[in-house]
Amino acid sequence: MESRRRQGAAVAIAVSAAALGVGLGATLAYAVHGPHTRPGDYGTYAVYGAAWALFAAAAYVVIRHVPRRAAVPMILIGAVAFQLVAMSAPPQTSDDSYRYAWDGRVQAAGISPYQYAPQDPELRELRDEWLFPSGDCTGWLEHPLPDGTCTMMNRPAVHTIYPPVAQFWYRAVHAVTPDGGREPVQAAAALVALAVTVALLLVLRRFGRDPRHAVLWAWCPMVVLESGNNAHVDGLGVLFMVLGLAAVAARRPVLGGLLAGAAVATKMFPAASLVGAARRRPWVTWGTAAATVVVSYVPYLLMSGSAVVGYLPGYLREERYEDGARFALLGLVLPDRATPYAAVAVLVATAVLVMRRSDPDRPWGAALTMIGVLLLVLAPAYPWYALMLVGLVVLDGRAEWMAVGLAGYALYFLWTLGLTPEQVETVHVGAYGAALLVVAGTAAARAYLRRRVADEPQLPPVTAAAV
């Protein structure tokens, strides 16, 4: 009888997890095909909110109740299915992938991607109907050019901003699929996301952690939609970062630095994860990472000189980091002109504290704290920047940091809603303020529970003599 009950409970749990997974897949499909798929629509908040709620419930069931032997294939099947769903529609909330494809095409023509902007006449021969569609240029994610034509790329008047390892990736994708199109770029990003899932499963097993936590990456709506649909390159940086931290934990600092450097040369933010290497041969890891970044820039430096800086300075001005207006939380207590200096001070203090307290056998804990604080300080309007956090949450377990990723959506989805600057600022501050409260409140509650357990009197063990 007891055996039947256990079997029945196991079946019920499996059915519940599968049902939640199917519901999540259906919601993700609606997020890319339904009427509420894009910024500037209040319905989009509801669709994404439903996806995250289903994800939270599904992840809880998988981690807490599904046996490990069944959970791993379930996680992998779901990961593949969700990425296929995301790939079934054109990018809905970002046009960055079109620039990726263009940079790959420019390199294939033997030209540095840092040398010209997409609208420059020197690159006119590389244009095609996919990236430069004809018509009235009023479609979603279409941008007019000064000559009256149209492009799918944002900021067509500026040089690329992406670092060299990202550029190598764009060139490789173009080499495999020279005819172009959205599908190859999306498929490449989806495959990277799946590679991260496999890497997380292996790292979790290698270091004695529960592999079921990989569901927090594999089924996360942000990972699915920003990889398979919007095709962001950030996932490649996450892959290198996860493998680099695993190498550091395995006491292989040179390999760890090499992989970490590749992550930084894909997207600059993973540089903050290097504080996780501070307690064991840090200079070896940091030096190798720095050398990797420098070497990756050499081919482009030889072709383009100082132009390899790309649009980074302009991006910082555009996003209002230069004048301090973007630092939402710091702006609550400081004038804008002081917030950049305060941001540097907060990040330096956090780095020192994290380096002193980091566990060399668990470098992802320090990396999670450092990158989480970095995002809270910078308060970016782009949610996919938090993909790094999701990967680190899987390794470390502090799921409260996922709130920082959600905060980015709050501001990003305000396009074309007609809000005043004051209303936009309120949303910005409110979203990141709520994320900070979630992180700080959960940390405080966790510390309180640890103290309670430590203060409880310990009963002496029962011995045979006592019996």
Tens digits of per-residue pLDDT, 128-161? 999 999 888 888 889 999 988 899 999 999 999 9
Range of the domain at 333: 29-93+180-455
**210: three-class secondary structure by DSSP:** coil
Question: What residue type is assigned to position 89 of the chain?
Answer: A
Q: Which residues, other chains included, contact 84 with Cβ-Cβ below 8 Å and sequence gap of 6+?
A: 190, 228
Provide the number of structural domains found in the chain: 1
Tell whether 126 is covered by a domain. Answer: no
pLDDT over threshold 50, residue 466: no
When pLDDT is averaged across residues 109-137 and rounded to a whole number, the result is: 92
Closest CA to 89 of 233, 225, 232, 236: 225
Ramachandran class of 266: left when φ > 0, alpha when ψ lies in -120 to 50, beta otherwise? alpha
The bridge status of strand 150-151 relative to strand 143-144 is antiparallel
Q: Say if residue 167's pLDDT is above 50.
A: yes
Closest CA relative to residue 252, chosen from 284, 222, 224 = 284
Whole-angstrom distance, CA of residue 425 vs CA of residue 324: 13
Asked whether residue 400 is domain-assigned, the answer is: yes
Helix (H) or strand (E) holding 421: helix 421-455
- Asked if 75 and 83 touch (Cβ cutoff 8 Å), the reply is no
Q: If 0-12 CB within 10 Å is exposed, 13-18 middle and 19+ buried, where does residue 448 land?
A: exposed
pLDDT of residue 462: 54
Question: For residue 349, what are the CA distances in angstroms to 306, 312, 336?
Answer: 32, 25, 20
Q: 165 pLDDT exceeds 60? A: yes
Per-residue pLDDT at 118: 94
Angle at 155 (CA atoms; ends 152, 161), nearest 5 degrees: 110
* Section 434-448 average pLDDT: 93
122 within domain boundaries: no
**172 in a domain, yes or no?**
no
Residue 356 within a domain: yes
DSSP characters over 87-153: HTS--SS--HHHHHHHHHHHHHTT--TTT--TTSGGGGGG--TTTS--S-S-STT-EE-TTS-EESS
Sequence-separated (6 or more) residues with CB below 8 Å from residue 297:
163, 164, 265, 308
Portion of the chain with pLDDT greater than 90, in percent:
74
Span 174-182, mean pLDDT? 89
Q: Is residue 110 part of a domain?
A: no
Q: Is residue 321 part of a domain?
A: yes
Looking at 60-64, 99-103, 330-334, 412-416, which range is the least confident one?
A: 412-416
Could you identify the residue written with the tokens 């492009």? 151
Helix H segments across 207-270? Answer: 215-218, 221-224, 234-249, 253-264
Residue 41 within any structural domain of the chain: yes
Is the per-residue pLDDT at 225 higher than 80? yes
C-alpha 55/C-alpha 43 separation (Å) is 18
d(Cα 4, Cα 267) in Å, to the nearest integer? 52
Confidence of residue 459 (pLDDT cuts 50, 70, 90): low
